[in-house]
Amino acid sequence: MRETMENRGFLVVLAGISAAFLLILLPFWSAIFWACVMSLLFNPLQRRMVRIFKGRESLAALVTLLLGMVLVVIPVIAIVFAFINEGAQLYESIESREINPSEFINQIGTAVPILPELLQRLGIDTSNLRSYLSESAVGLSRIISQEALVVGRNTVAFTLNLALMLYLTFFLLRDGETIVNWMRKALPLNEDRRQVLFSKFAEVSRATVKGNLVVAIVQGGLGGFIFWMLDLQAPVLWAVVMAFLSLVPAVGASLVWIPVAIYMYATGDWMKASILVAYGAVVIGLADNVLRPILVGRDTKLPDYMVLFSTLGGIALLGINGFVIGPLIAALFLSFWSIFSKEFNG
């Protein structure tokens, strides 16, 4: 009886101390999360570097971190600031009436006379559609402009979080295997179940991060490239939008380039519109079908609808971090229930 009470008391104290420690780390959870993502993505490279440098793990982790900064961190920072800058410029253009979203509807309606009549038959009021588009464009561009001011004011906090992320990434790359083994031993489960859970966790995590994050970056990059080549306005901004929309099943980035192509056809720019349609259908469209099966694999592939809802839910709850956390939690949910059903239902 006394031993049981002592065990319960110890568990209560352990839970309280753990909760207090997590509370202390809460202000830096974003930096910690992205450090985990970076270490997960570059862990295969870290293992290769360890072999190249003959077991010198610190040197291997430093070289891997430097490569990660060149390949990921620096380009992402440049894209973020370019995105904010282009968003602010777009807001100014809309406010000054240099860009008039409602005029786009008029131009398309003039080029395709049957379109206004078709919309009316479907019960869509074109005047309301024009005002809705104008209000939406102004609202979205205003949000981007406000975020630009926030980033400018919080440059010190952003730099601090970036430095902490890189600092932690180094240690996760170097000591990741030791940390995972410690966590595995800390779980109150038998060895067989711990092995299954951790192997499934590693498989699902790597597949989810690679499958969603890498495909989004590739599709956004390809879309931004063709927009830049065709000299379209704000290519970086639309590249970021296409990266997010790449998670929408079946259509994805086409929600951006198809309306742009339609507008270009309507305004008589047939050559650029045809190039955009061909490039979007072949290059951007096939990127998802080719890359995702390679990166994710069959065993851990989430249904398209679950990817969509988990991503949107993650972004709504956690902001930009939810872009990765949402699908990751959904993938782990399915994987853990799969293990449960196999063990308890045969």
**114, part of any domain:** yes
Provide the residue range defining the domain that includes 135.
25-186
**CA torsion angle for 332, 337, 338, 343 (degrees, to 10)?**
130
- 42: tokens are 């570059």
**245, part of any domain:** yes
**286 and 156 in a common domain:** no
Q: What is the 3-state secondary structure (H, E, C) of 139-192?
A: HHHHHHHHHHHHHHHCHHHHHHHHHHHHHHHHHHHHHHHHHHHHHHHHCCCCHH
| pTM above threshold 0.75 | no
- 328: tokens are 């990751």
Q: Are 215 and 287 in contact (CB under 8 A)?
A: yes
Q: Using the structure block, give the residue that is written with the tokens 């971190």.
A: 65
**Last residue in a domain, options 155, 186, 217:** 186
**286 and 237 in a common domain:** yes
For 56, phi then psi, to 5°, come to -80, 90
Q: How many domains does the chain have?
A: 2
**5, part of any domain:** no
Q: Are 313 and 322 in contact (CB under 8 A)?
A: yes
**Last residue in a domain, options 156, 186, 216:** 186
CA distances from 219 to 35, 47, 308, 326 (A): 23, 28, 16, 20
CA distances from 41 to 2, 201, 207, 297, 321 (A): 48, 14, 10, 16, 16
Would you give per-residue pLDDT tens digits along the chain (346 residues)?
A: 556 767 777 778 888 888 898 888 888 888 888 888 888 888 888 888 888 888 888 888 899 999 988 888 888 788 777 777 777 777 676 666 666 666 666 666 665 556 666 556 655 555 565 565 556 655 666 666 565 556 556 667 778 888 899 999 999 888 877 887 787 777 766 666 677 777 766 666 666 667 777 788 888 888 888 888 888 877 888 888 888 777 665 667 788 888 888 878 777 778 888 888 888 888 887 777 777 666 665 545 667 677 778 877 887 888 777 777 887 788 778 777 777 777 776 5
Amino acid at 66: L
